[in-house]
Amino acid sequence: MRRFDLFVGSALALLAAFVGREALQMRAHLRTVEQRTASFGTRADTALVSNTEGRPAERPRTTEPVLTRSDMPEVLRRLELSAHETYISEVIAAHDSALVRWPERKLEPLRVWVQPSARYESFREAFVPAVRRAFSDWTDVGIPMSFTFIVDSATADIRVTWVDRFNEPISGKTIWAHDVARWIVDGQIQLAVRHQSGERLDSTAVSAIALHEVGHLLGLDHTSDTTSIMAPKVRVSRLSPADRATVQLIYRLPPGRLN
């Protein structure tokens, strides 16, 4: 009887060790999948009243696991009810039939570092507060997001830097990363102080293009509505009712693929 008990105990110990090892391997595999499938989105845009329309740069393609969504009918119903007076359909199409956004950060603001100076002749100190106002203009819309500006770039969630000019006909570029569930996890914005042609950008133009790029950072994409700040060629300097309604809708819905 003691031999039988000893045999059973040994078998159970081996089984427990096997299950534990498999669980550890599975957790490691899931972490690897999340890291490998993080994707980057790049948006490149023109400045105010630019003569050349900027085009989004192509995003690197990644293989992602298929995530089953039980909330799909409810999300589609809410989209149908609220899509009027927005350009949400254009945003979804540009993001490969998906909604992409940040998790709510009302109580824990995203840390933003804006490069305080640049050694470019066309750079102006007034550009820095203009960029900060662009962030506050979007949060004033009422989305569950907040930002705080920091002096240490190493601890920032979002970095805004300056370039003299781009080699392509654009004046701003936004790069963000999202996980497999389409939550944005970090972002970067680059702003030019001159057009590609060499013409200086004034504070009005920098303010408008910063407003446009922060829109991309929040998960918006281009619209054919030229009265909106998210038009590919920016011709306005304020958020339109459609800009406001679209970002509000995005932040009332969960992210993820819709097909």
pLDDT in tens, 62-106: 444 445 678 888 888 888 889 999 999 999 999 999 999 999 999
Q: Do the bridges between strand 256-257 and strand 98-99 make them parallel or antiparallel, or are there none, so unpaired?
A: antiparallel
Least confident of 21-25, 87-91, 134-138, 181-185: 21-25
Alpha helices, DSSP H only, in 83-199?
Answer: 88-94, 127-139
- ∠182-96-135 over CA atoms, to 5°? 55
Q: 230-254 burial by CB neighbour count: b if 16+ within 10 A, else e?
A: bbbbbebeebbebbbbbbebbbebe
Q: What is the pLDDT of the chain when averaged over all its residues?
A: 81
pLDDT in tens, 191-229: 999 999 999 999 999 999 999 999 999 999 999 999 999
Question: Which of the pair, 3 or 194, is modelled with greater confidence?
Answer: 194
What is the pLDDT, as a whole number, of residue 35? 26
Its pTM stands at: 0.78
Judge whether 182 and 258 are in contact, CB under 8 Å: no
Residue 32 has pLDDT above 80, yes or no: no
pLDDT > 90 fraction of the chain, expressed in percent and rounded:
67
